[in-house]
Amino acid sequence: MGVDRDYDDNLSSPNRDEKSMRPLLDTSKSPDLNNNSKFDDTHQVTILTPRASSSVNDKYFINYIVMMLFGVGCLLPWNVFINAIPYFVDYKLNTTALNETSTYRTDFGFYITNLGQLTNVIMNLVNIFISFGGNPKNRIPYTLLLCSGVILFHIGLAVIDSSEWPVLFFYQVCASVIVMFISTGIMNSSVFYLSSIFPSEYINAIILGNNVAGCFIAIASILSKKITDSLRLAAIYYFLAAFIAVMLAFVGYFVMHRTKFYKHCMKLDEEKKRLSSIQSSSSAQKPVPYLKLIKKAGLHLFCIWLNFFSTLAVFPVFQLGIARHSPDFIIGQEMYIDVVIFLTFNFLVLFGNMLPKIIRIPGPKWIPVPVIIRALAVFILFPISNYRPDLDHRIPILITNDYIYWAMCFISPLLFGYFTSLLMMYTPNLVEDEYKGTVSMIAALTIAIGVATGLQFTKILELIVLK
């Protein structure tokens, strides 16, 4: 549908009267400008002017797809690293220059996971509290280029023979993980900041993209075992796929900037912020009231943290120790981990992310209740499953039925994905328009902290369960 030319002229005029903008931005008369409820189902912006109204559609869902690509670009490189651990440990570091009990091999996953997550939390903090490079959205293409450079570096390392210098190779990998998380950490919070100008469901597109990356890697892991026995070749394919995904996100960034939908969302967001500044009777730039924002959105931010903390405390490390009990279970031992743990988790989280398109229950007020109940259920049920049955337990094994455990593996990620989407859509709307981008970035930081603390808690959970 066409766009009213007078609207463009009004927006571009430096001398427009404040009163002439009130019909455009009067959120009391047009609540959709405040909560974006119309956007969620139609992918269009309804623009009100003193004389007319018009709509701008997200043609072919280009902006929504680009936000999904950003989500893929944020998480796929890290998923590739995790999935390629056998390549690093059993191929690159499996040389005569290192013995089998070397810490470089036995603790490789621990080192890169903690390095990566610590860097991720720090860079999310930096991106929120330190101003550099102007608007956070402008940092996205540079972070994508940096991330793609790291991936190309690893494709090069896979090609060359490093058997004579495994220790140097290990430290090169650690350094590259830090650089990669510098890029994806900044990109992650910048993308969430950008999403605040769009309808609320566009923030969910990022979460969807995150989980599309997980699904891709889960399928790739299964296919690679069927197609080739070469760890080196499989790793090259993984890294190449990640490079293509990052480059698609890079191209998508510039395509998005050329769409009418993006341009009008940007203009509308700027005018809403401008009016909010006028109504606050302060023309000078105010410092961001971080404590006030955290107080307003504190309960929802806590729920975001708890949702990720409870999930990452058991997935994937703790669940890798939950063994198949019956030899007659429908999934064989060879595919048990790939299907029951990784494939089930990633696809059910993805499906949970899609559910808010159909239903959004509970609302912002009551969402903390089911989030807390789910977290409690996770910490009660998974520790009593068939975890490391060969060892002595403090907590008895009560769930030995493989189908009951698999049902738990269905329900937990489904609710996790659903609650994540709801929380990420609800939380920015708890504050004023001018601070929605900042709160979106704080929510992204909360996710990073939830992931990092959840992974660390896995060791504590193991100490609680085992003697």
**Residues whose CB is less than 8 angstroms from the CB of residue 400 and which lie 6 or more positions away in sequence, other chains included:** 325, 386
Could you tell me if 267 and 323 lie in one domain?
no
Quick: pLDDT tens for 7-27.
344 444 444 334 433 333 343
Q: What is the DSSP string of 117-142?
A: HHHHHHHHHHHHHS--SSSGGGGHHH
Could you tell me if 250 and 320 lie in one domain?
no
| Spatial contact of 425 and 203, defined as CB atoms under 8 Å apart | yes
Could you tell me if 312 and 176 lie in one domain?
no
Could you tell me if 276 and 322 lie in one domain?
no
Share of the chain above pLDDT 70, in %: 85
| DSSP H/E element including 255 | helix 231-256
Share of the chain above pLDDT 90, in %: 54
Written as six digits, the tokens of 245 are 């995904």
Kindly state whether residue 41 falls inside one of the protein's structural domains: no
Could you tell me if 408 and 339 lie in one domain?
yes
Kindly state whether residue 198 falls inside one of the protein's structural domains: yes
pLDDT band at 164 (very low <50, low <70, confident <90, very high): very high
The residue from 236, 270, 286 where one domain ends is 286
Question: What is the chain's percent helix, strand, coil content, to nearest 5?
Answer: 75, 5, 25
Kindly state whether residue 5 falls inside one of the protein's structural domains: no
Kindly state whether residue 425 falls inside one of the protein's structural domains: yes
Quick: pLDDT tens for 276-322.
666 665 545 678 889 999 999 999 999 999 999 999 999 988 998 99
Q: What is the dihedral of CA 402, 404, 408, 414, to 10 degrees?
A: 110
| Spatial contact of 348 and 340, defined as CB atoms under 8 Å apart | no
The residue from 286, 312, 330 where one domain ends is 286
- Residue 114 to residue 121: CA distance in whole angstroms: 11
pLDDT band at 205 (very low <50, low <70, confident <90, very high): very high
Query: What is the pTM (predicted TM-score) of this model?
Result: 0.78
The residue from 224, 253, 286 where one domain ends is 286
Could you tell me if 310 and 236 lie in one domain?
no
Could you tell me if 280 and 230 lie in one domain?
yes
- Residue 111 to residue 177: CA distance in whole angstroms: 10
| 234 pLDDT higher than 50 | yes
Structural domain that includes position 375: 289-467
Could you tell me if 142 and 244 lie in one domain?
yes
Q: What is the DSSP string of 18-70?
A: HHHHHHHH-TTT-THHHH-TTHHHH-EEEEE-SS-EEEEE-GGGHHHHHHHHH
Paired sense of beta strands 44-48 and 53-57, if any:
antiparallel
Quick: pLDDT tens for 372-392.
999 999 999 999 999 999 999
Kindly state whether residue 16 falls inside one of the protein's structural domains: no
Closest CA to 386 of 362, 369, 403: 403
pLDDT of residue 301: 97
| 268 pLDDT higher than 50 | yes
Could you tell me if 253 and 378 lie in one domain?
no
CATH number reported for the structural domain that contains residue 338 in this entry: 1.20.1250
Kindly state whether residue 46 falls inside one of the protein's structural domains: no
Kindly state whether residue 3 falls inside one of the protein's structural domains: no
Could you tell me if 212 and 245 lie in one domain?
yes
Residue 210: other Cβ atoms inside 10 A: 26
| Spatial contact of 408 and 385, defined as CB atoms under 8 Å apart | yes
Q: What stretches of 313-399 show up as alpha helix (H) in DSSP? A: 317-320, 333-336, 344-354, 368-381
Alpha-carbon torsion (154, 177, 461, 383), positive or negative: negative
CATH number reported for the structural domain that contains residue 78 in this entry: 1.20.1250.20
Could you tell me if 350 and 422 lie in one domain?
yes
| 47 pLDDT higher than 70 | no
Task: Look at the chain and report how many structural domains it folds into.
Answer: 2
Kindly state whether residue 206 falls inside one of the protein's structural domains: yes
| Spatial contact of 112 and 170, defined as CB atoms under 8 Å apart | no
Query: What does the DSSP 8-state code read for residue 390?
Result: T
Could you tell me if 247 and 294 lie in one domain?
no
- Residue 25 to residue 28: CA distance in whole angstroms: 9
